[in-house]
Chains A and B, each alone.
Chain A
Amino acid sequence: MQFVSIFLIMGIMVGLLISAVLVIFANKDKHIKTEYDERQKIAKGKSYTYGFYTILISEVLVFCLSIEGYPNIHIPGAYYHMFSLFLGLTVVCVHDIWCGCYWGLNNNIKRYNGIFLFALLLNLLICIAPYLVNHEVRIRTIAGMECYDLPYANIMCSVFIIIVGIAGLIRRLTTKKEEE
């Protein structure tokens, strides 16, 4: 196992741990599980279905790319899989937002928004840090391929949060008329 993989697994584990703590903090009842009503559960089921098919199709495309050879844009091949995961996740979240089931019954929306903003700022800081330190984007060899030395996971995470934010904003504007 390469060091990159070990760090990636460790990063995911730390991320999951932080997420669990944040979910407890952001839920009004301090439980790790978010509660949804019956309509939200049905809508979430549809979201997961669309997300599953998105990942399935994108993974088939990534598989084809891995056979044919990745395009020469200096991005490590492993991150194409991560991109496909983020794509599926984005589909799930945007559909959830559109169906009004992104927030559960026991969620404190203001706290959630704060956490999202904090996560976005943190990720953006990590994204620009290499450029601020080196004043250039370095190139290094990963799995025999020359790649830009960038925090790809953080870049994808930032884009994901921005898309979720925009979707939430659009939904809020379109549903404002419904509210009394």
Chain B
Amino acid sequence: MKNLRLKAARAGMDLSQEQLAEMCNVSRQTISSIEKGDYNPTINLCIAICKALHKTLDELFWEE
């Protein structure tokens, strides 16, 4: 399932996939895969993404 909240949060901070990837120390393709729902990140990467985007885990990764 696509993670549109992550994409929206990233776009909201005016960050490209490349920039977010650099902040989280992962590749651009990994951020792209998470946004497309092709890859389920580990909790460590989720936390790194949340910190970079100033969001909580619930806001970005909790499925309602």
Contact = CB atoms under 8 A, between A and B. Distances in A.
Interface of A: 36-40, 99-101, 103, 105, 175, 178-180
A179 B17 contact: yes
- The secondary structure that dominates the A interface is loop
- The secondary structure that dominates the B interface is helix
Given A39-B26, A39-B30, A39-B33, 4 more contacts: A40-B29, A105-B27, A179-B18, A180-B17
Interface of B: 16-18, 25-30, 32-33, 39, 41-42, 44-45
Contacts of A39: 26-27, 29-30, 33, 39, 41
A100 B42 contact: no
Nearest to A103: B27
A105 B32 contact: no
B26 A38 contact: yes
Contacts of B16: 180
Nearest to B24: A37
A15 to B, nearest CB: 28
Contacts of B39: 39
Contacts of B41: 38-39
A37 B26 contact: yes
A101 B33 CA distance: 12
Q: Quick one: which of A38, A39, A175, A178 has the most chain B CB within 10 A?
A: A39
A101 B39 CA distance: 13
A139 B53 CA distance: 66
